[in-house]
A and B are shown apart, each in its own frame.
Chain A
Amino acid sequence: MAMSLAEKIIARAAGRDRVTSGEVVTARVDLAMIHDSGGPRKAKPILERLGVKVWDPARIVVVTDHFVPAYDAETAAIQKLTRDWVAEQGVANFYDMQGICHVVLPERGHLRPGMFVVGGDSHSPTGGAFGVYMFGVGATEMAGVLATGEIWLKVPETILIEATGRLGPGVAAKDIMLHLCARLGMDGGRYQAIQYTGDTIAGLPMTERMTLCNMAAELGAQAGLIAPDAVTADYLRAAGADPGDLAAWQGDADARPAETHRVDAASLGPQVAAPHSPANSAPVGDHGAARIDRAYIGACTGAKLNDLHMAASVLKGRHVAPTTRLLVAPASTRIAAQAAADGTLAILTEAGAILLASGCGACAGYGAGILAEGEVCIASTARNFKGRMGAGSAQIYLGSPYTVAASAVAGHIADPRPMLAEAAR
């Protein structure tokens, strides 16, 4: 019987010739990723209670990204506990304040096609952009993985998203995802695997593919997946990872998806999600000119190098509106360095952007950049749940980095395309 890409990876990890969607299997984990919020501070007491150490320190990556830099006694204590635990357990793969885990992992060459990976964070499906079956779990479940090196899962069905046509100017992978959130709903993924395919996807760089898989979480899927190709292999080689046998990690041509949804990328315009759900997405023009107090370019979803380039293409030669603040947190220190070297950061700061540390921070209300009661924000992040970025009465809109930058300049929600067209003339 034909197998999907998800089934092939899970079968390999479960030590089976084949698996079928719906069956419950136990799989060996190739890599476990944890961060400062849900990682050591939760795993330590559980491992101590069980009287065990981690099953394999070489298969664990620890990243501090949620409470960085520490800003009070509590967060400082969490960071210290994390560092002490890493040393105590002998974990060599430790990235302390180097950026957001979902971006740091592939950037430092930890992901390769065909791997089966669990992450202690809900945006773990990001890794699926590299042909990796990767999903998020809670801290206690992760402690179980750290103790045993294995996890159970129900083999998922595959929901295929087939995107065709080339995205227009000022339109990005983020717009595809906001459109899908509105169309399928936040439980449309049914905790199954979403796989993206079609010529649109083939033409996207890895950063944009990561955005697609990242927001499979907002569709309620367990994992997002894109079959690896030459674009994947090039990225991996540059990151110092061996791409391996790409042909082994393709779904069979005759494997039947449970559902197929088609997206006409060429006709898609910029999308904006209104408060308080990504599913409240609609074309940017449908939202009127809502006032923006704060614009935020940040997070695993919206502050990779390509995202910063999108923002810079709008902000070059322009300035943020006097009534609006623009905060930018590059998703990793390496991205920040690249953006400094290629002139992107200068464009952003000359436009009035305030730079923040590379971390999850403002996206999830963890660090600097909290919203006050009644403030209105537009963000390149993935979630605009009530109260997520601070006060419960704050209003959060979501858009692509292009749309967030254009809105920062206008002081209200704005379509980036006229600004880009003007810049091109």
Chain B
Amino acid sequence: MTAHKVWRFGDNIDTDVLAPGLYMKKPIAEIAAHCLEAVAPDFARAVRPGDIVVGGRGFGMGSSREQAVQALIELGVAAVVAASFGGIFYRNALNHGLLAVTSMHTESLRQDDRVMIDGMAGDIVNITTGERLACEKLPPHLLAMIADGGLVPHLAKRFAQGLTP
């Protein structure tokens, strides 16, 4: 497993901050360049593939726009860890294969900490501090979808197997 650098944000990081409405008509690369700029102007420039984003409560609340998820994927963000997620964002993340991990212990993760995540086991280890954080485990039907690579590949497999409705 690889170690991921933490980008730390607070509570209620909303979809409009992740994917501002002004850029919604643009391709995802351009939306991603403005991801989180209202709260962290340098984030989109400085984040590196494999880094993770950590929030508090209500991460991704607001709009159903999945560009909020796709912008993070475009920037190479490997996972989002938060104490709670906006319901639609959470579904969007898993549908796109972005690991969204719910943990009540995110306050112990700080900016620039290095962590390892085992999403399937529901386990986060903070290498910087040595702490192990308990996370919620995903239900089986979502694990199956993630194992297929997200919703679209999952559906493609279903259709290929003749499991049409």
A412 at the interface (CB under 8 A from B): no
A140 at the interface (CB under 8 A from B): yes
**From A136, which residue of chain B is reached at the shortest CB distance?**
B64
**From A143, which residue of chain B is reached at the shortest CB distance?**
B152
Q: How far is the CA of A187 from the CA of B102 in the complex (A)?
A: 14
Would you call B24 and A366 a contact (CB within 8 A)?
yes
A137's contact among B20, B21, B88, by CB below 8 Å, is which?
A: B88
Name B33-75 residues within 8 Å CB distance of A.
Answer: 37-39, 57-58, 61-66, 69
A165 at the interface (CB under 8 A from B): no
**From A361, which residue of chain B is reached at the shortest CB distance?**
B21
Q: How far is the CA of A150 from the CA of B158 in the complex (A)?
A: 13
B25's contact among A74, A147, A149, by CB below 8 Å, is which?
A: A74
Q: How far is the CA of A79 from the CA of B91 in the complex (A)?
A: 27
Contacts of A389 in B (CB 8 A): 21
Contacts of B62 in A (CB 8 A): 122, 383, 385
Would you call B152 and A49 a contact (CB within 8 A)?
yes
Q: Mark B147-164, 1 if CB is under 8 A from A, else 0.
A: 000111001100100001
A220's contact among B87, B151, B152, by CB below 8 Å, is which?
A: B87
A340 at the interface (CB under 8 A from B): no
Q: A38-B66, A50-B156, A370-B22 are in contact. Are A220 and B16 (CB under 8 A)?
A: no
Q: Mark A49-65, 1 if CB is under 8 A from B, else 0.
A: 11110010000000000
Name A159-209 residues within 8 Å CB distance of B.
Answer: 185-187, 191
Would you call A37 and B87 a contact (CB within 8 A)?
no
Contacts of B91 in A (CB 8 A): 137-138, 141
A387 at the interface (CB under 8 A from B): yes
**From A74, which residue of chain B is reached at the shortest CB distance?**
B25
B14's contact among A124, A385, A390, by CB below 8 Å, is which?
A: A385
B95 at the interface (CB under 8 A from A): yes
Would you call B61 and A187 a contact (CB within 8 A)?
yes
Q: A37-B24, A122-B64, A365-B22 are in contact. Are A277 and B155 (CB under 8 A)?
A: no
State the majority secondary structure of interface residues on A: loop
Would you call B66 and A138 a contact (CB within 8 A)?
yes
Q: Mark A219-231, 1 if CB is under 8 A from B, else 0.
A: 0101000000000
Which bracket fits the contact residues of A? 35 or more
Would you call B165 and A187 a contact (CB within 8 A)?
no
Q: A50-B155, A75-B25, A187-B58 are in contact. Are A149 and B165 (CB under 8 A)?
A: yes
**From B153, which residue of chain A is reached at the shortest CB distance?**
A49
Would you call B26 and A74 a contact (CB within 8 A)?
yes
Q: A152-B141, A364-B21, A386-B39 are in contact. Are A138 and B165 (CB under 8 A)?
A: no
Q: A140-B96, A385-B17 are in contact. Are A364 and B63 (CB under 8 A)?
A: yes
- The winner among B14, B87, B155 for most chain A CB atoms within 10 A is B87
Q: How far is the CA of A390 from the CA of B164 in the complex (A)?
A: 44
Contacts of B12 in A (CB 8 A): 186, 277, 279
Would you call A187 and B84 a contact (CB within 8 A)?
yes
Name A103-151 residues within 8 Å CB distance of B.
Answer: 120-122, 124, 136-141, 143-144, 147-150
Would you call B64 and A137 a contact (CB within 8 A)?
yes
A305 at the interface (CB under 8 A from B): no
Q: How far is the CA of A162 from the CA of B111 in the complex (A)?
A: 42
Contacts of A238 in B (CB 8 A): none
A78 at the interface (CB under 8 A from B): yes
B92 at the interface (CB under 8 A from A): yes
A296 at the interface (CB under 8 A from B): no
B87's contact among A78, A139, A191, by CB below 8 Å, is which?
A: A191
Q: How far is the CA of A279 from the CA of B62 in the complex (A)?
A: 12
Would you call B25 and A78 a contact (CB within 8 A)?
yes
Name A255-296 residues within 8 Å CB distance of B.
Answer: 277, 279
Name A44-91 residues within 8 Å CB distance of B.
Answer: 46, 49-52, 55, 66-67, 72, 74-75, 78
A388 at the interface (CB under 8 A from B): yes
B20's contact among A24, A220, A387, by CB below 8 Å, is which?
A: A387
Q: How far is the CA of A78 from the CA of B25 in the complex (A)?
A: 8
Q: How far is the CA of A392 from the CA of B62 in the complex (A)?
A: 17
B165's contact among A148, A277, A365, by CB below 8 Å, is which?
A: A148
Q: How far is the CA of A399 from the CA of B37 in the complex (A)?
A: 27
Task: Beyond the given A366-B24, A366-B25, please list 11 additional residue pairs across the A-B interface where CB-CB is below 8 A.
Answer: A122-B88, A138-B92, A139-B64, A144-B155, A150-B165, A152-B141, A186-B12, A220-B86, A279-B12, A366-B21, A385-B62
Residues of B within 8 A of A (CB): 12, 14-17, 20-22, 24-26, 37-39, 57-58, 61-66, 69, 84, 86-88, 90-92, 95-96, 139, 141, 150-152, 155-156, 159, 164-165
Could you pull out 13 A-B pairs where Cβ atoms are within 8 angstroms? Answer: A52-B164, A66-B24, A75-B25, A138-B92, A141-B66, A144-B151, A186-B58, A186-B61, A187-B61, A220-B61, A220-B87, A364-B63, A386-B14
Question: 4 shortest A-B CB distances, which residue pairs?
Answer: A365-B21, A191-B87, A138-B66, A138-B92
